[in-house]
């Protein structure tokens, strides 16, 4: 079944439909399935599949840097010390390497 843009708008303007969508979102019943034609979209699949780990790692990374900056809680002596520590921290916290296409 294929709907035109106007037909879809009429359905979405229906209050019963809006109420059902709101109920699904509020109760956590909403879900989605992503489909990737493999192998040609394997890189995009790997990125999507790792997204939550990446977001969590980035937040931890940001918090660690914020702590160093806010509390001066580091012993960096040179720029190389900073860069080396950041690289190690990146792999420790995010720990994800997605191969290039």
pLDDT in tens, 4-34: 777 766 777 777 777 777 777 778 776 778 8
Helix axis angle for 51-71 and 79-93, nearest 10°, is 140
Give the count of beta carbons closer than 10 Å to the beta carbon of residue 57.
19
Confidence of residue 98 (pLDDT cuts 50, 70, 90): low
Cα(51)–Cα(19) distance, integer angstroms? 30
pLDDT of residue 80: 93
DSSP code for 78: S
Give residue 48's domain range: 33-101
Instruction: State whether 26 and 43 are in the same domain.
Output: no
Instruction: State whether 94 and 80 are in the same domain.
Output: yes
Total structural domains within the chain: 2
Task: Please state the pTM of the whole predicted model.
Answer: 0.53
């Amino acid at each position: 079944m294929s709907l035109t843009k106007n037909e879809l708008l009429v359905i979405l303007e229906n209050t019963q439909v809006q109420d059902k969508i709101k109920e699904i979102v509020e109760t956590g019943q909403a879900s989605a399935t992503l489909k990737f034609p493999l192998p040609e979209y394997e890189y995009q699949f790997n990125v999507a599949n790792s997204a939550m780990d990446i977001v969590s790692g980035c937040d931890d990374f940001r918090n660690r840097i914020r702590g160093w900056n806010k509390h001066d809680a580091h012993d960096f002596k040179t720029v190389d010390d900073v860069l080396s520590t950041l690289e190690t921290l990146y792999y420790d916290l995010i720990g994800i390497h997605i191969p290039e296409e």
